[in-house]
Amino acid sequence: MRIGELAALVGVSTRTVRHYHHLGLLPEPARLVNGYREYRLRDAVVLARVRRLAELGLSLDEIRDVLADDRGRELREVLEELDAELARQQAALAARRARLAALLARPDLDPDATVSPDLAAVLRDLPTGGSAFGALDRELLTLIDTGADEDARAGFAELLRPLTETAALDRGRDLYARLDALATADPTDPRVADLAAHLPAGMATAMTTTAEDPATARWWQSMTQEMSPAQAEVFRQLLLVLRERP
Amino acid sequence: MRIGELAALVGVSTRTVRHYHHLGLLPEPARLVNGYREYRLRDAVVLARVRRLAELGLSLDEIRDVLADDRGRELREVLEELDAELARQQAALAARRARLAALLARPDLDPDATVSPDLAAVLRDLPTGGSAFGALDRELLTLIDTGADEDARAGFAELLRPLTETAALDRGRDLYARLDALATADPTDPRVADLAAHLPAGMATAMTTTAEDPATARWWQSMTQEMSPAQAEVFRQLLLVLRERP
DNA sequence: CTTGACGTTGCCGCTGCGGCAACGTTTCTA
DNA sequence: TAGAAACGTTGCCGCAGCGGCAACGTCAAG
């Protein structure tokens, strides 16, 4: 048998057969005078063995070990390990499919919608209309959500939920508008101190929590660098006040 | 922000960030005078977007397309395609785990045991004890099973099942012994013609079916090359006879 | 005699980075 | 203030499991 026949018989490519030779999975058979490899039934048996194990999902390295082990119990160990690995993959696949299904169920699908479901609900209700500061805020929220783990995400969304109630929405819109107005203002502008002093309690709590939480403090810092000096000054003063009387 | 901060913030390695630059997934930010990359919050937003899509299982190429598509419906298409792909993978995983479970349930686990369950049952019952020809026969059966598709496997096992009945087992052992005896015999030996003429009907049927079936004929040919001349002669005569009166 | 199908060796490419080298910059510490 | 440690830069190799190609030799058929 020549390599093409062997390959066709077992159902692989000649390239695969040569690859297995290269890896030492399949012994090199005798050569004819013209240099062609000459295979016997025994080689097909070994090749088929390799294939069956490969189709189960073993890596070629593992297959080499199993075959070298010569009738040992190594096979059982490897297969049990493999099964555990496959179980992990199944769980991961199921989780990904669940997230996909949740995404696909939404009509307003865009790359930013791929945040956690909790935050997605918050973002849907939060006012954004035209406010530059609102857009920045959404960026921050999205980033925090992406970086956080499961628990942090839930607590984070919980913190924000009160802000999406009808009464809070108007105040939120108002807040964004007043911050937008400070985009080109001086940090000493009287509106700065006024805003810091009269921020609604729920919003102030949410802000200081994100700003003080060590896990999100760095996000907050990045965000302040994107603000105008006057806007940043509002939050600096706010934090000073809230640190003294929590 | 420098690259390390950005990476830590989003939860990737700096290597990953640079890789994304290289692929054009993430635009190169401005450089400081020392050549360092200087990132802004906006870059973190893009990077996080890439990460979320990557964690869903999209390839980096697909992510680039989706992001370039700018708020299009391409995302939905890609995600639906991905979901279908994941569903395929789930099915494949489940099938592999089922095969693994069947294998692990068996006490006599060896690399050759990884054939289809049907054939495994046949091989367990077929007599082998010490016969060289029996070993060769098992090799052939295993190879046919490996190469065949689902339907062929089932029909094949069905064909062999009668041979595992108690009455047939003795005749099988006898057949193997008589073939072993021809290992060094001459093709003109009288035992050759005798064996060909008096082979039990069920076995003759099984043999000619495998030998005549185009899908397995090449296997058969490989096997005859492993036999002694006298052994091969038995089957040559057998096929001649059976072709005339089926 | 050519054509085409097969065989040979060997190297690049794919994915998504990790790891290293070889070097410059910044920052902490003794 | 020097030196070490921790960062930054570009660039190339490696990974799994082959596919594809190049550049060549061999063999059977028309």
Residues of chain B positioned with their CB less than 8 A from the CB of A5: 218
Mean pLDDT across the stretch A145-159?
76
Q: What integer pLDDT is reported at residue A22 of this predicted model?
A: 92
Nearest residue: Cα versus C1' of C7 = A36
Query: Does the CB of B85 fall within 7 Å of any strand C atom?
Result: no
Q: Report the alpha-carbon distance of residue B159 to residue B212 in Å, rounded.
A: 14
* pLDDT tops 60 at residue A19: yes
Q: Which two tokens stand for residue A189?
A: 């502008």
pLDDT recorded at residue A166: 81
Q: Looking at mean pLDDT, say which of A93-107, A182-196, B131-145, B194-208 comes out highest.
A: A182-196
A27-37 tens-digit pLDDT = 999 999 999 99
Q: What is the mean pLDDT of residues A63-88?
A: 83
Is pLDDT at B137 greater than 60 in this prediction? yes
Task: Indicate the range of B6-20, B90-104, B119-133 predicted with least confidence.
Answer: B119-133
Q: What is the 3-state secondary structure (H, E, C) of chain B?
A: CCHHHHHHHHCCCHHHHHHHHHHCCCCCCEECCCCCEECCHHHHHHHHHHHHHHHHCCCHHHHHHHHHCCCCCHHHHHHHHHHHHHHHHHHHHHHHHHHHHHHHCCCCCCHHHCCCHHHHHHHHHCCCCCCHHHHHHHHHHHHHHHHCCHHHHHHHHHHHHHHHCHHHHHHHHHHHHHHHCCCCCCCCCHHHHHHHHCCCHHHHHHHHHHHHCHHHHHHHHHHHCCCCHHHHHHHHHHHHHHHHCC
Of A111-125, B8-22, B34-48, least confident by mean pLDDT is A111-125
When mean pLDDT is compared across A67-76, A99-108, A136-145, B51-60, the lowest value belongs to A67-76
- Is the pLDDT score of B56 beyond 80? yes
pLDDT band at B65 (very low <50, low <70, confident <90, very high): confident
pLDDT reported for residue A13: 94
Cβ-contact A189, A230 below 8 angstroms:
yes
Smallest CA-to-CA distance from A84 within B88, B95, B100, B107 is with B100
| Protein-proximal positions, strand D, CB < 7 A | 7-10, 16-21, 25-27
Gap from A6 CA to C5 C1', Å: 16
How far is A76 from A82, CA to CA, in rounded Å?
Answer: 10
Lowest mean pLDDT among B105-109, B111-115, B180-184, B203-207: B111-115
Q: Strand D: which residues have Cβ below 7 Å from it?
A: A 13, 15-16, 19, 32-35, 54, 59-61; B 2-5, 14, 18, 35-37
Task: Return the higher-pLDDT residue of A232 and A163.
Answer: A232
161-200 in B: which are within 8 Å (CB) of A?
A: none
pLDDT at B124 over 80: no
pLDDT band at A74 (very low <50, low <70, confident <90, very high): confident
Locate all alpha helices (DSSP H) within chain A, ordered by sequence: 3-10, 14-23, 41-56, 60-68, 74-104, 117-125, 132-147, 150-160, 166-180, 190-197, 201-212, 214-226, 229-244
- Among residues A45, A207, A54, A86, which one has the least CA distance to residue A140? A207
Per-residue pLDDT, averaged over A84-90, amounts to: 89
Distance (Å) of CA A189 to CA A145, B45, B238:
33, 31, 107
b/e per residue A79-116 (b: at least 16 CB within 10 A)? beebbeebeebbeebeebbebbeebeeeeebebbbbbb
- How far apart CA A107 and CA B33 sit, in angstroms, is 46
A31 strand-pairing partners = A37
A72 confidence band (pLDDT: 50, 70, 90): low
**Residue A156: is its pLDDT beyond 90?**
no
The label of the residue with tokens 């999975």 reads A25
Burial of residue A145, with CB atoms counted within 10 A of its CB: 0-12 exposed, 13-18 middle, 19 or more buried = buried
Across the interface, whether the CB atoms of B100 and A56 are under 8 A apart is answered yes
**Maximum mean pLDDT: which of A72-76, A132-136, A141-145, A159-163:** A132-136
How would residue A215 be classed by pLDDT, with cut points 50, 70 and 90? low
According to the model, what pLDDT value does residue B180 have? 92
Banded pLDDT at B143 (limits 50, 70, 90): confident
pLDDT of A111 above 70: no
B136–A11 C-beta distance less than 8 A: no
Among B1, B73, B110, the strongest candidate for a mutation testing the A interface, having the largest count of A CBs within 10 A, is: B110
Contact A212, A206 (CB under 8 A): no
Say whether residue A142 is in contact with chain B using an 8 A CB cutoff: yes
Q: Which of residues 49-68 of B touch strand C (CB under 7 A)?
A: 54, 59-61
Q: What is the pTM for the complete model shown? A: 0.81
Interval A150-179 mean pLDDT: 81
Q: Lowest mean pLDDT: which of A33-47, A98-112, A171-185, B164-178?
A: A98-112
**Residue type present at position B42:** R
Phi and psi dihedrals of A69, rounded to 5?
-65, -15
Q: How far A216 CA lies from chain B's nearest CA (Å)? A: 9
For A179-200, what is the mean pLDDT? Answer: 89
Note the pLDDT of residue B105. Answer: 82
Say what the pLDDT of residue B186 is: 92
B246 touches chain A (CB under 8 A): no
Contacts with A121 (C-beta within 8 Å, 6 or more apart), sequence order: A157, A164
| pLDDT of B113 | 65
**Minimum CA–C1' distance nucleotide for A35:** C8
Residue A114 has pLDDT above 80, yes or no: no
Residue-level pLDDT at A113: 65
pLDDT at B3 over 90: yes
Q: Do B90 and A97 touch (CB under 8 A)?
A: yes
| Low-confidence winner among A10-24, A54-68, A178-192, B147-161 (lowest mean pLDDT) | B147-161
Nucleotide nearest to B17 (CA to C1'): C17
B residues 28..47 contacting A (CB < 8 A): 40-42, 44-45
Q: Which of B9, B89, B226 sits opposite A40 (nearest CB)?
A: B226
